[in-house]
Structure 1
Amino acid sequence: MDESQLDQRSLTPVIFPSVQRFLLHQLKYRKTDDDGIQSTLTFRDFDNEV
């Protein structure tokens, strides 16, 4: 278990799996991209999964 999963669990104790996955992606992208471009791509990927 990595740190991002622990942080994400503490922020959202009860949530749907798809949304949980989406938020976890957001945390990872925010750590790697400060310009926010990856966040926009994450929204598109999340819409495709639903």
Structure 2
Amino acid sequence: MSKLCGLNVVQLREELQKRSLVTSSNKEVLVARLREALIDEGKNPDEFKFDGAG
């Protein structure tokens, strides 16, 4: 399991795709988009662990 900051671009895109979010952009934008999605889900993006990543 990995934290948000440890995900690579492919992993970020997979997580965004699971949430039906846009997956095109650079890593910085993908991280910001996923961070917002986690906040919207009521999760703490700094503590959330991603299964199968890393």
TM interval, short-chain normalised: 0.3 to 0.5
* Greater relative contact order, per chain length (Cα 8 Å cut-off, separation 6+): 2
- TM-score between both structures, scaled by the size of structure 2: 0.41
Q: If each structure's helix is expressed as a fraction of its own residues, which one has the higher value? A: 1
Larger Rg: 1
- TM-score between both structures, scaled by the size of structure 1: 0.43
